[in-house]
Every structure is written in structure tokens, then in C-alpha cells.
Amino acid sequence: MSPDETEDTDGPARSQIELNLPFDSAFDECMHALRQFRYRELMQFDPDRGTIEVRVSSQNPIFAGMSYSFADEERITFALQKLDFAKTKVTITSGSIFRPEHPANRLHNQENLTGISSFLLNRESGQGSEAGTGYSPTLNGFTKERWVLVEPAETAFMSLLIPGLGQNHAGRYVRGMVIAILVAAGLVFYVIPGVMLWLANGYDAYRIAQRINLGSLPFIPVKSGLQFLHVIAGGGAIFLVILAVIFGFSPFH
């Protein structure tokens, strides 16, 4: 079924489509559609109610050939409604967070809806790989997790860059701050334990992301404000500690 697209001048653009897929499979495909965006921040995730809310970078159009927006970020939401055993109604909205009234931003919102709707309809008709399964084949023949809620490699890199930042990104804010403090203390008192803990914290962040994707840990939405504070406080503290170690201010050097 072709998408029914509307644009409210006072709100986000909206599109409604009906997929000939069971509720769970349609939800899988909506999550799969979000993988087309290089940057995303999952704000809401409820597979039981069929609701997804994600913040994406508007400078990453979902398909080549679409125009760029002047807004920094957009909020895209999915709301699924079970019509019968093998049919699901999907309502998609796309709205710019900054300057939503700008014509270029509104155009980009509509393009997002068109791209996402076409993607879902192509997957439903079998033109996409493994339509209705929510799985994405990789080059080595293995498949990704059913839902990639937190990217493990990205999360590990964030923790290797600033200790505890990956844990923060995975919603484990207290754990991330404790790790940052322990790494800083380890570097002050003796370099080798601090460095080993720093490396171990990267693996810890990787495993947390994996467990969230597999469902053994609950997903917790990201709080950008806490992430920003962790970058400023944690990054600044680690930088000062490293300078202190280099110039010999550590009590054990």
C-alpha cells in the first residue's frame, strides 16, 4: 500500500502505511530502517506498545540524492498498531528540533518520510534482504543482533577515548562516573594499573552494549545532558591527571 503523507504546518510531517506483516515483524523492520542513519540516539523503545522515538543527524539523508537540511537534528517517531494477525499500521512522524519552520527543514522531513516508507514497503514486498525478519547479513555471513540498540564498537571507542563515556552512552551513568574516577585515581597513584583499568573499561562498555542488544540488560534511553557533563568533567579530569603524571606530580613517581 502506498504511504499516506500529510504535512501539518504547525507540527511534524506525518506518514501512515499498512504493512502486510505481523506486528513483531513490522516492528523489526522499523528498527532496521533506522540503521540507514549513520548517527542516531534512541530516546524511546517499547516493542510491546510498538513505539520508537529516535533523534538523528539531519545532515545524513536516508538515501542518496535527497537534499540536505539546515537543521542540526531531527526527531523521528514510529507508532505501530496491530490491525490483524498479518497486517500492521505504521505511523511515522519526522520533525526538526531546531528551526522546524524553515522550508528546507520541512522539505527534509518529508524526504525522510518518503525514504523510510519506501524502505519499509520494499522490505515488505521482498525486495530487501530477508524481509520481515529484522536481521541484516554481514560480509562474513553472520547476522547482527535482532535490534541494534547500542553499537558495541562505538560504545567501546567512546570509553577508550574518555573512561566511562561508553557506559554513560549505554545508560549506565553511575557506572561510567565510577569508572572515570577509578581510572583517574589509578593513573595518579601508579600508571600501569590505571592504563590497564582504562583498557578494561573499553571491553566493559563493549560487553554492556552487546548484552543490551541481546536483551539480557534493559535498554535505558540516552540523556544528552549527562553525556555532555561526562565529556567535560571526565575528559578534563583525565587530561589534568595525565599532565600531572607526565610532569611527575604523582605521589608514586
Task: Enumerate the domain spans of the chain.
Answer: 4-124, 152-246
CATH 3.30.530.20 holds for 4-124? yes
Task: Please list the rounded mean pLDDT of every run of 10 residues in the chain (253 residues).
Answer: 56 87 91 76 88 76 40 82 93 80 73 88 68 43 63 92 92 92 82 88 95 88 82 80 68 50
Three-class SS of residue 19?
Answer: strand
Q: What is the pLDDT of residue 147?
A: 77
130-146 core/surface letters (b: 16 or more CB in 10 A; e: else): ebbebeeeeeeeeeebb
Per-residue pLDDT at 206: 96
The pLDDT, as a whole number, for residue 123 is: 82
pLDDT at 221: 84
**Cβ atoms within 10 Å, residue 226:** 15
pLDDT of residue 225: 80
* pLDDT for the residue 60: 43
State the distance between the two ends of the chain, measured CA to CA, in whole angstroms.
Answer: 70
The predicted model scores a pTM of 0.67
48 secondary structure, DSSP code: T
Walk across the sheet containing 51-57 and list its strands.
4-7, 13-19, 87-96, 73-84, 51-57, 40-46
172 class by beta-carbon count within 10 Å (0-12 exposed, 13-18 middle, 19+ buried): buried
* pLDDT attached to residue 38: 63
